[in-house]
Structure 1
Amino acid sequence: MRLDQLPGTYRGQGVRIAIIDSGAATTHDNLHGIRAGFDVINKKTNPDGWDQDALGHGSHCAGVIAAADIASGIRGFAPDAEVHACKLFPGGQVSQLIDALEYCIDKQIDVVNLSLGGAAVSEALEQQIIRARRAGIACIVAAGNSGGAVQYPASSPNVLAVAAIGKLDEFPADSYHAQTLDANVDAYGYFTAKFSCFGPQVAVCAPGVAITSCVPPNNFAAWDGTSMATPHVTGLAALCLAHHPDFQTQQYRTRGAERVERLFQIIRASARRVSLGDQSRTGYGMPDTLLAVGLQPQAAMPPMQPQSMGMPLMMQAQAPGYDPFALGMLPYYRPPLPYAPLAW
């Protein structure tokens, strides 16, 4: 994504990012800069437990987004952004995800990373996503790891859905990462990941195979998943908001749905085609950092996908007795062998 070619002063300063996930381990040297959050699961007993991450999933996402560029470890896309860790896992439900988005609205968050989802849709959650968008919050969502249709809430027309791609020679041929390889390999070695969900709702794709990032207490791990692809785009969105000239103007500095849509347009327009897979697996392609922050001119914006290609705002009626608030939400990643594959 050419992050390595970005001037050193482009660090996402002034932008607020929320990571709704399993928390963020601030014990990690690269994550000491995360100083705010909310434990949605234990909001009545321990709302400050967001800095404990039993799964490591939220810490891994946080590293890609905002890891501090200290002498060791990794550097995130936006190390100077203000990061809020909203703890939703393990055991998160839709009602608690709604609470987490309410926190984001209250704190005037700019970008939310949602590396999570499920098969069923929720009208209550959709209405909260719409509220967040109207408040100027851009929701960047993982497409899902089932290898089937884009899952919810990535299937919502009010978010930016991210699929996962990989690249040859970035992992050992005999490693578990090789299981993600499919036949859609282009001349540069990019391929669509087998596990990544696909469909017309996919906006862009990003690296999601053998992604090295932070895990508790102070270690690193290489994981696969649309969970790993999504924070690449979240971090890029923060850089775009902080540094693209459009967001220094009054029109797009003002928080609101128009600002969010302009951000999504810029990210889509910066993307370049990768892999030989069809666009339902890659969307507009992989975003380019230099284009997205306005350092290089973008080509003409390709036609936007019709709104009807996304999920309708009103959900289908559920069977009698269906409780949308009882639906569990799961993070999307593929832990390494010898663990059995999980439907996350």
Structure 2
Amino acid sequence: MAPIRKKKEKQQQLSRCMKKKSVAKECSSQSTNVRFNKDFGQHILKNPLVVADMVEKAALRPTDVVLEIGPGTGNLTMKLLEKSKQVVACEVDPRLVAELRKRVQPTAHSSKLQIIVGDVIKADLPFFDLCVANIPYQISSPLIFKLLLHRPLFRCAIIMFQREFALRLVAKPGEKHYCRLSVNTQILARVDHIMKIGKNNFKPPPKVDSSVVRIEPINPPPKIDYQQWDGLVRICFSRKLKMLRAIFKNNKISDLLEKNYKTFCATKNQTVPEDLNFKQFVEGILVDVKLADKRARTLDLDDFLNLLLAFNSKGIYFA
């Protein structure tokens, strides 16, 4: 029995090896005559195993519509077309659009590809079930929130980011990379780090390593005013190592919030006490929720939600 088992194992290893070589050959068949534009953040993912891993992590269904941002010469696009109902590829560079069309046109999947030519941040995105992409890193932050505020909600996104940006997305309270981006993303989605990708997996190689992150929108989303939420979080992280009581005593912050408070009172026909010490008023709210001596980098989502509710209940708003 042992020789038969070993023979089967060797056959399986050979099969896996042949599959990897086939994928590598397919990816290397792209045009090499394109000069990549650094202004567009073009770093083409050339490692077929990374491409395969990203597609596998996406858990695509045959009925899925997939959004891809920055398809480049189509290494990832080709794999997505095989597994999905449709791929909507958004590309800003007309030269790469031409390369992508040339590559997909002779295949059986050409009718499944829709190309949006232009800046994805400015584009009106259609419905999609998933987003799978190796994006230009300079659009990382605005893209995250464009996707998370898109309706209807998508199922999940598998996106490659610059490694430091990815670490900020997944950071937890008290960790080095925990910041406003962490809080604003995690209030809207569950975020998980999937894998680290070295710079040599790209052509041309970027100056930094990358990471692939899985983003799953919270459905239904929390019922909060996102402008208010971001206004509060922005203030708290303006000096994330300082205690909140010190941050809210800053003259510029205090003056802004006092102006908002007086506007609120005017709309509600409420009288503002002439002897109101606004800084003490704000500090009293912080003390009531037991956060006056806390620092933003240690607060979790519930802390920020409770703080926002406490301020709003007293007529203090952030937008």
Q: Which has the higher contact order (CA 8 A, sep 6+)?
A: 1
Which structure: greater helix fraction? 2
Tell me which structure has the larger Cα radius of gyration: 2
TM-score, with length taken from structure 2: 0.29
TM-score, with length taken from structure 1: 0.28
